[in-house]
Every structure is written in structure tokens, then in C-alpha cells.
Chain A
Amino acid sequence: QKEVEQNSGPLSVPEGAIASLNCTYSDRGSQSFFWYRQYSGKSPELIMFIYSNGDKEDGRFTAQLNKASQYVSLLIRDSQPSDSATYLCASSDNYGQNFVFGPGTRLSVLP
């Protein structure tokens, strides 16, 4: 059973701090990894994707991938109350097949 695991949270951080969201995956065939943000009552929206080992930065967001450890993370710098949402981690294989979503981590950024 291919699984993507995340801590359900809630993860609470003060405004302006760095929020660190983590994700592990069981299938070594997984090659692409995606972070989605889902506000309460809304559909998931893509924030970032990564498929090479290392870091990928986009504005306040940094995705990190370590395939040897089967570990993906999302860092949110200068967290804002508007970042409060559930963050879903997802994986797929090299051909875009076998999408697997994690259960999501609820982030709360406190003013």
C-alpha cells in the first residue's frame, strides 16, 4: 500500500515565524512531490512541486526533497495569518501515475 504520511496537527506558529511542514512517503518509485494548500471549505490549490533532491524556493515557500530518506518538507518563511490552512502533500511516479495524497497538516498562524 503506497502511503504518504503527515502529522495532522494543528501546527501553531506565531506570525512572522517559519512554519515547517513534513511529509514521508513509502513508495520508492515516487518521483514527483506536490504541496497543496486547502482553506476551510475550499478546494486544494497547488503551491509548489519538486522532483529533484535538494531545495526549491518560490517566494516565501521552500520545498525540500530527500529521496534517500523518503522525506519532503515545506517551509513557509515570515508566516502570515492568511497562511492558516491545511497543507496536503502528494506524490506521483515518473510518468504522472499513482497519485497519492497525504491526510494533510492543519497550520494555524497566530497574530
Chain B
Amino acid sequence: DQQVKQNSPSLSVQEGRISILNCDYTNSMFDYFLWYKKYPAEGPTFLISISSIKDKNEDGRFTVFLNKSAKHLSLHIVPSQPGDSAVYFCAASAWGGSQGNLIFGKGTKLSVKP
């Protein structure tokens, strides 16, 4: 049973436009959500996070939106750049991750075309 779902395996966007990556979750106990970025042959690297008590968190070109009622979050990248091309993983944890329970989605491969 997948608790964190990324239903789009891939996304292609033109440079300069907005990239929107989506993530759905099923566990209402999740209280922290994180996005990781992964380049080929490298490990995932932390990008941005949001607490369940907020609905938006912004860091430069990256903004994460959380809709708790819909159990949905999204990552917006504006403007998209070719260097943003990577696999993006959504992750979630309950109890602040104190149970070591950071659960990942399967990822969405973003391609930003020049």
C-alpha cells in the first residue's frame, strides 16, 4: 500500500515556464513533507520541506503548497531551468520522523528543455 504517491512518472517543460510536480498521500498522521532532487548516479538531495501546520513554503524559485483536506502537495519551480532536470521525490513523515519513518514516493522525472 503506497502511502505517498507521485502519479506522473515524467514531466517535460520548456525553459522559463513553470514546472508543477504533484504528490498525494494517504496517511493523515503525516506532519512533515519534504521534496528531494536526484541527479543520475547521485544520491537524493534535500530541496524544500513544509510542516503540516502550513500551506505554503517558498525558497527562491521553489514553492511547495500543501492542501491537507485533499491530502495533496505540489512543488512549483518558477522559472524552470535546464539544470532543474532531475528526478524529484516527494517524502513524508509522521511524528516529525521520530520513528525513522520518512516514506518516499516513486519519483517524477522532470525534463526542462532549452
On whether the two chains bind one another, the answer is no
